[in-house]
Amino acid sequence: MHLLKWLYPGMKFKRWMLLFSIGVMLLSLGVALIFNYKVIDFIEEELFRFIYLWQGSYNYTFTTLAGVAVFAFGIVLMLIATRYIIRSVIMVLLPEGSGRLVDLIYEKRRLGKGPSIVVVGGGHGLSVLLRGIKRATSNVSAVVTVADDGGSSGRLREDFGMIPPGDLRNCLVALADTEPLMEKLFQYRFKGESELAGHSFGNLFIAAMAEVTGDVERALRESSKVLAVRGEVLPASKEYVRLDAIMADGTVVEGESHIPEVKKRIRRVRLFPPHVKPVQAALDALENADAIVLGPGSLYTSIMPNLLVDGVADAIRRSKALKIYICNVMTQPGETDGYTASMHAKAIIDHGGKGIIDFMLVNSAPISKEMKAYYAKEGAAPVVVDETAINALGIGFVKADIINQKEVIRHDPDKLCKNVMKMVDGLRPSGNGKYFMRGRHGI
């Protein structure tokens, strides 16, 4: 059964098998020419003599059948030989066997034909989306915020003057096609009371790789090889930045980790220094994307910092890609208290400019009473999807079940992937800069 998988469409194996067959036939013809057809004549004469002795007369049907049998036998021998040649190589490179290899090759070929999708954001939400998207396409780029200043990332940022590696690490692990043990290793957080306590191994690995290579972008590329990452992870900028928030009462809160703590409504966020150089590879990915996805994640502290890096918001607006914003399901205490779906979108437009969103993907699954009560204790509530207000902003929306709520409410990676890919495949430009999708509400 594994041998037949080599003949699946898209494996690019059949063409080389055909070329191999042609080579064998040419080799046979060459041998016949060298011996002036004496070998073929001898075989044919012996065949006719056998038929004559058996039947008492010549019958060309038997020679035709004999030719077909010899041809088929030759094909079988070629397949068997090819199988064992491949197997002998596989046993050295991949001890699990040829079945595992053919599955890997087929999967890689299939994913390599997928659309080019750039995901912009940070935090846990971004890694959840990436876990789903990598099953649909390997042409995925994650443009990740570099404004995190808390926890292990914040400590490494202060100690080494580097961009925080935490969100970058989570995205690498989310896109990884590697053994579970390697994922556990990268996510392992040291315990105890030593100086290592609280640091994750993955953060330290990226920090060390950045020191060795001299560049965090190159460090991420090398780390991607270790984890067999599908796609690429890119920081929005390689510069040391701080995220500040200007509150509705005019006060300024400095530092990403401090913004939710003050429990005030946010008017606007900004980077310090105000002008930050972007990573060129991130701009290139945005320019060449088939779809750009913002979020899911914290509105002001995960998505916005990327848009404030010089050139990023402009690149998104200029891109011909479909621009999708995945709206949060619940409000975030201290950041989006009382926000509706349209208020989330308007905040992004205010920071990134008109044209930065074409469509929103919003949750349609009902939230259980138990979950509502649980989140109410934390000061959070379901985000209301105010459809008319969304359309008034000049953007459309798609409603779908995109969550699971077993223990807490989280975006579901498979549901997210399914619905994002439906939007990418089904939405088409209408010719006036807008998009349409038949049979979907809010568009």
* Residues in CB range of 340: below 8 A, 6 or more apart: 383, 384, 385, 386, 389
Asked whether residue 79 is assigned to any structural domain, the reply reads yes
4-8, 50-54, 151-155, 410-414, range with the lowest pLDDT: 4-8
* Cβ contact 147:123 at 8 Å: no
Query: Which residues have CB under 8 Å from 79's CB, separation 6+?
Result: 3
Question: Which pLDDT belongs to residue 252?
Answer: 96
40 and 99 share a domain?
Answer: yes
- Give the count of alpha carbons within 13 A of 9, CB side only: 1
**DSSP of 89-110, one letter per residue?**
HHHHH-TT-HHHHHHHHHHHHH
pLDDT of residue 69: 79
What is the pLDDT averaged over residues 229-242?
Answer: 93
Do 379 and 423 lie in one domain? The reply is yes
Q: Tell me: do 317 and 429 sit in the same domain.
A: yes
Whether residue 430 sits in one domain with residue 304: yes
Say if CB 315 and CB 286 are below 8 A apart. Answer: yes
User: For residue 226, is it within any domain?
Assistant: no
Higher-confidence residue of 442 and 415: namely 415
| For range 164-189, the mean pLDDT | 86
Q: What is the pLDDT of residue 6?
A: 54
Range of the domain at 424: 115-146+236-436
State whether 241 and 287 are in the same domain.
yes
Q: Does residue 432 surpass a pLDDT of 60?
A: no
Q: Please give the radius of gyration of the chain, using alpha carbons only, rounded to the nearest integer.
A: 30
- What is the residue-wise DSSP string for 275-329? --PBPHHHHHHHHT-SEEEE-SS-IIIIIHHHHHSTTHHHHHHH--SEEEEE--S
Which comes out higher in pLDDT, residue 59 or 144?
144
Show which of 82, 110, 138 is a domain's final residue.
110
Three-class secondary structure of residue 380 per DSSP: coil
Confidence of residue 155 (pLDDT cuts 50, 70, 90): confident
Question: Could you tell me if 225 and 270 are in contact, meaning their C-beta atoms sit under 8 angstroms apart?
Answer: no
**Do 32 and 120 lie in a common domain?**
no
CA torsion angle for 138, 93, 102, 99 (degrees, to 10)? -130
pLDDT at 441: 46
Please spell the DSSP secondary structure of 387-406, one letter per residue.
HHHHHHTT-EEEEE--EE-S
392 has pLDDT over 90: yes
pLDDT tens, 284-310?
Answer: 999 999 999 998 999 999 999 999 999
pLDDT in tens, 301-341: 999 999 999 999 999 999 999 999 999 999 999 999 999 99
Which DSSP state fits 261?
Answer: G
Question: What residues have CB less than 8 Å from 185, skipping those under 6 apart?
Answer: 201, 202
Q: What is the total count of domains within the chain?
A: 2
Neighbours of 53 (CB within 10 A): 8
**Residues 81-135: tens digit of each pLDDT:** 777 776 666 666 555 544 555 566 656 767 778 899 999 999 889 999 999 999 8
More confident residue, 297 or 3: 297
Q: Are residues 286 and 360 in the same domain?
A: yes
Residue 111 confidence (pLDDT): 75
The pLDDT of residue 396 is above 90: yes
Report pLDDT for 12. 62
86 located within any domain = yes
> Are 15 and 51 part of one and the same domain?
yes
∠ CA 142-148-149, nearest 5°, is: 160
Is residue 55 pLDDT above 90, yes or no? no
Q: What does the pLDDT average to over 196-219?
A: 90
Of 88, 110, 132, the residue that ends a domain is 110
Per-chain mean pLDDT for the chain: 84
